[in-house]
Amino acid sequence: MGNIERIGSSLRSLRKSKKITLQQIAQDTGLSTGYLSNIERNMTSPTLANIQKICEVLNSSLGDLLERNAEETIVIRKDDREVMIDESNMHIENIDFGIPNTSFLYVEMPPNTDAQNEWWTHEFDEVGMVLEGTMWIDMDGKTFELHSGDSIYVKAHTRHNYYNNSTTETTKSYWARIWVQEED
């Protein structure tokens, strides 16, 4: 039997297999996409009533979700990654193995990405690695120029942005995001 604390991973897997978006589930259940996203990332525990609403939309049951949860995800194919952002200046795909408090991203930025005014602050630590091209990252009043193979650590709650100033190369990077439990 699967782990109830990872029910969100099962929901995401089932939703993706049925090619249903978070927005569609939000519309059909009356739940917010942010709440649904947090459930899928195992960041919040849904109520039984909300699980039932979601299961009705997915034509499934809690028992089915727990069984699905028992099957570990060890391979995620490129075509199965969830596209989180697909805009002219950035393409971000989520790579979710269902590991609690952890997620991974694949990011592409075309040449001349103008994102210097788009600042990010997260509740989690991030480690990024440039796979191809060059990436510029502004953080703590400094600009870091990273090339293929270079990595960077961004601590939770640190204001930062990243962009591609190259006129010819697309930047491709991989990011691990880790939610660290703060001690009381």
Tell me the pLDDT tens digit for each residue of 120-147.
Answer: 888 899 999 999 999 999 998 899 999 9
Q: Tell whether 83 and 157 lie within a shared domain.
A: yes
Q: Tell whether 96 and 147 lie within a shared domain.
A: yes
- Cα 46 to its chain centre, rounded Å, is 19
pLDDT tens digit sequence for 57-89: 988 887 777 666 545 567 778 887 878 888 888
Count of domains observed in the chain: 2
The reported pLDDT for the residue numbered 159 is 93
Q: Tell whether 53 and 96 lie within a shared domain.
A: no
Q: Is residue 184 part of a domain?
A: no
Higher pLDDT: 100 or 105? It is 105
The reported pLDDT for the residue numbered 95 is 86
- Token representation of residue 12: 């995401």
pLDDT band (50, 70, 90) for residue 1:
very low
The reported pLDDT for the residue numbered 106 is 95
Q: Tell whether 87 and 163 lie within a shared domain.
A: yes
Q: Tell whether 25 and 62 lie within a shared domain.
A: yes
Share the mean pLDDT of the chain: 85
Residue 4 has pLDDT above 60, yes or no: no
Q: Is residue 83 part of a domain?
A: yes
Residue 2 has pLDDT above 50, yes or no: no
Q: Residue 163: which of 142, 135, 143 has the closest Cα? A: 135
User: To the nearest whole percent, how much of the chain has pLDDT over 70?
Assistant: 89
The reported pLDDT for the residue numbered 125 is 93
The reported pLDDT for the residue numbered 116 is 63
Last residue of a domain, one of 70, 93, 108: 70
Residue 27 has pLDDT above 80, yes or no: yes
Q: Is residue 61 part of a domain?
A: yes
Q: Is residue 140 part of a domain?
A: yes
- 101: alpha, beta or left, given left = phi > 0 and alpha = psi -120 to 50? left
Between β-strands 102-109 and 171-178, what pairing exists: parallel, antiparallel or unpaired? antiparallel
Q: Is residue 183 part of a domain?
A: no
Dihedral pair phi/psi, residue 77, rounded to 5°: -75, 150
Q: What is the pTM of this model?
A: 0.64
Residue 44 has pLDDT above 90, yes or no: no
The reported pLDDT for the residue numbered 137 is 94
The reported pLDDT for the residue numbered 30 is 94
Residue 155 has pLDDT above 50, yes or no: yes
Higher pLDDT: 157 or 12? It is 157
Q: Tell whether 51 and 124 lie within a shared domain.
A: no
Q: Is residue 21 part of a domain?
A: yes
Range of the domain at 57: 4-70
